């Protein structure tokens, strides 16, 4: 028993010696420079590293955040507020971009609709213009045809051919129409009813000399014209009167008329009638 106690005491002294020697050596080293020389600088020991953040060497994750001994609600809120602010800022930017995109899309759709409407309106105007051009072309063609027809009619205006001829005889010095003369005029006018493109040539002859014969022939011709206009409604513009006095009658050589005589010639233009 005594031997065990002695061994334990020796072991304790040995351990004390081992621990005391480094401390004594460190103390001697720390005090030696100050005693031997004042010019040598004092070397301070390196300070232990201090934590520079909240984690204090912990891995920054959710588990350490929750289990950290200093993690409180206010601290967590204070630390996460910048993240929330950034997220809110990103949400605002996203909402603003969405609004801008929606506005651009709406304006684009509106522009496309306006362009489509203008395109449709332009197509309609083009169609109307084409229709008007076609109508104008048709009208021009018709006008050209009408002009050609008119030119043909104008060219045929003087193409009159002699038709029926009626002769009215008067006694010397008289200009009144006899019953026989009226019957002849009625028969001639009946054939002209509802007719177009004709003219009536009235030529009066009278015996006598110079102006007296011309005046007498004029009176007889006027009697014929008056009867045709008043009794048969023949237009005056279709009647052409010539007072020839004592001019020799055509086809009789130098023979002059005795008494009074009126020749009525109906001239027709069949070409103009056919063109109409």
Same domain as 151, residue 173: no
CATH number, domain of 239, equals: 3.30.1330.60
Is 1 a member of any domain? no
Name, in order, each residue with C-beta under 8 angstroms of 95's C-beta and a sequence gap of 6 or more.
Answer: none
Same domain as 118, residue 79: yes
Same domain as 170, residue 137: no
Is 197 a member of any domain? yes
Is 5 a member of any domain? no
Helix/strand number for the chain, H first, E second: 6, 4
Is 28 a member of any domain? no
Question: How distant, in Å, are the alpha carbons of 98, 105, 116 from that of 112?
Answer: 20, 10, 6
pLDDT at 262: 92
Of the candidates 229, 204, 202, the one whose C-alpha atom is nearest the C-alpha of residue 216 is 204
Last residue of a domain, one of 123, 155, 187: 155
pLDDT at 82: 85
Of the candidates 266, 182, 189, 184, the one whose C-alpha atom is nearest the C-alpha of residue 233 is 189
What's the burial of 85, exposed, middle or buried (CB within 10 Å: 0-12/13-18/19+)? exposed
Same domain as 166, residue 143: no
Same domain as 259, residue 190: yes
- Distance, in Å, from the CA atom of 174 to the CA atom of 170, rounded to the nearest integer, reads 6
The tally of domains found in the chain comes to: 2
Is 232 a member of any domain? yes
Task: Please give the residue range of the domain that contains residue 80.
Answer: 52-155
Same domain as 268, residue 165: yes
Last residue of a domain, one of 116, 137, 155: 155
Is 264 a member of any domain? yes
Residue-wise pLDDT tens for the chain (276 aa)?
444 544 555 556 655 555 554 454 444 444 444 444 444 455 666 566 555 555 555 556 666 655 655 556 776 777 788 888 888 888 999 999 999 998 898 988 988 988 888 888 899 989 999 999 999 989 888 888 877 776 665 555 556 777 778 898 888 888 888 899 899 999 988 888 878 788 899 999 988 887 888 898 899 999 999 999 999 888 998 899 988 888 776 655 445 556 788 999 988 876 655 555
Is 39 a member of any domain? no
- Distance, in Å, from the CA atom of 45 to the CA atom of 26, rounded to the nearest integer, reads 12
Name, in order, each residue with C-beta under 8 angstroms of 22's C-beta and a sequence gap of 6 or more.
Answer: none
Same domain as 169, residue 142: no
What's the burial of 105, exposed, middle or buried (CB within 10 Å: 0-12/13-18/19+)? exposed
pLDDT at 221: 92
Is 27 a member of any domain? no
């Amino acid at each position: 028993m005594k031997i065990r106690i002695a061994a334990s005491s020796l072991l304790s002294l040995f351990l004390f010696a081992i621990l005391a020697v480094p401390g004594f050596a460190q103390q001697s080293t720390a005090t030696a420079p100050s005693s031997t020389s004042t010019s040598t600088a004092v070397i301070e020991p390196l300070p232990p590293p201090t934590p520079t953040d909240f984690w204090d060497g912990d891995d920054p994750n959710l588990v350490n955040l929750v289990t950290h001994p200093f993690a409180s609600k206010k601290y967590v809120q204070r630390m996460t507020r910048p993240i929330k602010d950034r997220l809110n800022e990103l949400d605002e930017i996203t909402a603003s971009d969405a609004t801008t995109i929606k506005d651009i899309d709406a304006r684009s759709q509106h522009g496309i609709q306006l362009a489509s409407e203008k395109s449709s309106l332009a197509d309609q105007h083009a169609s109307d213009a084409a229709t008007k051009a076609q109508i104008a072309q048709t009208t021009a063609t018709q006008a050209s045809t009408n002009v050609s027809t008119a030119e043909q009619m104008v060219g045929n205006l003087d193409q009159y051919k002699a038709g029926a001829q009626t002769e009215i005889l008067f006694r010397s010095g008289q200009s009144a129409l006899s019953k026989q003369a009226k019957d002849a005029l009625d028969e001639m006018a009946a054939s002209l009813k509802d007719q177009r493109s004709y003219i009536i040539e009235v030529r009066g002859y009278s015996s006598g000399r110079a102006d007296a014969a011309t005046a007498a022939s004029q009176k007889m011709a006027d009697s014929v014209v008056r009867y045709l206009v008043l009794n048969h409604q023949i237009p005056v513009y279709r009647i052409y009167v010539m007072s020839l006095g004592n001019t020799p009658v055509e086809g009789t050589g130098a023979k002059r008329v005795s008494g009074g005589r009126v020749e009525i010639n109906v001239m027709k233009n069949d070409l103009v009638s056919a063109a109409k």
